[in-house]
Structure 1
């Protein structure tokens, strides 16, 4: 599936207009970017925006999630994989719970070693832990 990126929601979610003028919400596969109030959230969104906003991209559709988003590998500039680029530049975690992409772990390990992006923070908290921690705080 191909289409034009019309909006960036956050580092790992965007809207795409397909060739038949259907607007779909896409969640980038196998990664998780920082949540809105986490460090590097804005930079992750900016990276995604600069990489794909207004461009035609190719989606390798995997499945729909419980929110109706299309979970996809996103290919842009003919050959770049958005999941790989976000992890490589330190703007996302490899989402091991949902991923079988071993190359993402290699990229994350390399990003940690060179302390790029979110890996500059020695206490960087994965978004799934941050969301879980936030839910626990809300409960009475």
Structure 2
């Protein structure tokens, strides 16, 4: 006679002795698939470049207030500063933003945190000089807006810095009619 006890062990009874065998718990394959599926989707849909990596490079050219060119010893890379939007070169405060960026990082060895690419193929990066976040300095000094995508700040901390610069009337915030670069570009196509 065979008796099943809560699906964990079997008892086999015969006239002379009882044999107890322990079953290994079955792994529910369906549950395992459900647990692995979200991880697989994440790994397959997340570009490797979106997993931030940091490298050192020398800033060899400042293009404008939110774009630089850096050389890492092998290649020159154009880097668009992540989370900020500086005035365009022909826009009010555009040249001042560029000069501020030159003063901060020109010919300096910096650390760059790679955040992937923008729509134009430029690397999106946060630049650090001696552990100072240069992107945040540009916003704090009123030389750039905190970048918003679909109404949301890409770097929430920069929103506070922008508000402080605005309240203090720093940089572009000294102009009561300052226009965000996105709006300026649309108006000046």
TM-score normalised per structure 1 = 0.91
Q: Any conservation in 1 of the 2:153–2:159 contact (CA below 8 Å)?
A: no
Q: How many correspondences in the alignment? A: 133
Mapped to 2, the partners of 1:4 and 1:121 lie a distance apart of 33
**What are the ranges of 5 or more consecutive residues in structure 2 without an aligned counterpart?**
1-54
Mapped to 2, the partners of 1:54 and 1:81 lie a distance apart of 17
Mapped to 2, the partners of 1:74 and 1:134 lie a distance apart of 29
Aligned-pair distance for 1:107? Answer: 0.3
Equivalent of residue 122 in structure 2, options 69, 76, 97: 69
User: Runs ≥4 in structure 1, deviation > 2 angstroms?
Assistant: none
Bigger relative contact order (CA 8 A; separation at least 6): 1
Mapped to 2, the partners of 1:16 and 1:68 lie a distance apart of 15
TM-score normalised per structure 2 = 0.68
Mapped to 2, the partners of 1:52 and 1:25 lie a distance apart of 14
Aligned-pair distance for 1:91? Answer: 0.3
Q: Would you say 1:89 and 2:141 are equivalent positions?
A: yes
**What are the ranges of 5 or more consecutive residues in structure 1 without an aligned counterpart?**
136-140
Equivalent of residue 115 in structure 1, options 169, 174, 189: 169
Which residue number corresponds to residue 105 of structure 1?
A: 159
Mapped to 1, the partners of 2:93 and 2:187 lie a distance apart of 18
